[in-house]
Amino acid sequence: MFEEKWLTVNDCKVRVRRGGSGPTLLYLHGANGAAKVPAFLESFTAHFDVWVPEHPGFGESDAPDWLENIHDLAYFYSDFLHQLGLSKVHVIGSSIGGWLAMEMAIREPQRFSSMVLIGCAGIRLEGTPPGDTFQWDPATAVRNTFVDDKMVAFALSHPLEPATAQKNRRTVERLAFEPRLHDPMLHKWLHRIQCPVQLAWGDQDKIMPLAYGHAFAKLIPQSQLVVYPNCGHLPQMEQATEFAASSLKFMREVQPS
């Protein structure tokens, strides 16, 4: 069970859901927000104290004027964790949330115990552009997110509230429109990530192609790439059982430093 609470960090009020007990696990959502706690996280509450915030600018959280790029969000979460006194944090970051996790870890490498990065943005490969999500209508975005037709049908029949979708999209534009879905400097500093990292990728990801998973595996020192077959951009949804088993095993085997 997750309980909802509201936290104010530097005059920015954010919605947070929290459940479970154990070492801290922070879930950083992607472009679609976290209107609901992702179902796969329920299995983690038996082993971790799971925190699921809605980023500034998403969902019901405040949309502060100072939020201009991914770096602002990384520094916000640095203050967030400092205010709560959280260290040795495990992180699961999805898509933009994975990019955010890396930006946080290169700034404060000592704060994190492990990371699972799902189809994450953040770098650019010459000749292999990411899917241009800013050019897609909502239906096209859904079809390019999932491989499973049942997942596509469910997502199309359960859209976000229009106001929430618009707010989320505007924030994603602030974070990742230009340069498109990457930080030109990030690749130079990924060696600073000190914790073990599992890269989780769908073999048919049309948003961040699998080539990005292989590239990150070369750039991040203690990293391993797990590829999920017959899967698109969100293995935590499309291959939920396999993803939860793999990522939970990975994080539980990490010894706090």
Whole-structure pTM value: 0.97
Checking if the pLDDT of 241 tops 70, the result is yes
Tokens of 246: 């793999």
Q: 234: helix, coil or strand? A: coil
Overall domain count for the chain:
1
Provide the mean pLDDT of the chain: 97
In the chain, what percentage of residues exceed pLDDT 70?
99
Span 164-176, mean pLDDT?
97
Element containing residue 91 per DSSP (H, E): strand 89-94
pLDDT digits (tens, 9 = 90+) for 15-33: 999 999 999 999 999 999 9
> What integer pLDDT is reported at residue 1 of this predicted model?
87
| Owning domain of residue 247 | 3-253
Checking if the pLDDT of 257 tops 60, the result is no
For residue 172, give Cα distances in angstroms to 147, 169, 253: 23, 5, 34
> What integer pLDDT is reported at residue 76 of this predicted model?
99
Phi-psi group of 200: left, alpha or beta (phi > 0 → left; psi -120 to 50 → alpha; rest → beta): beta
Cα separation, 49 vs 223, whole angstroms: 24
> What integer pLDDT is reported at residue 255 of this predicted model?
62
For residue 241, give Cα distances in angstroms to 148, 151, 152, 246: 15, 15, 18, 9
CATH at residue 96: 3.40.50.1820
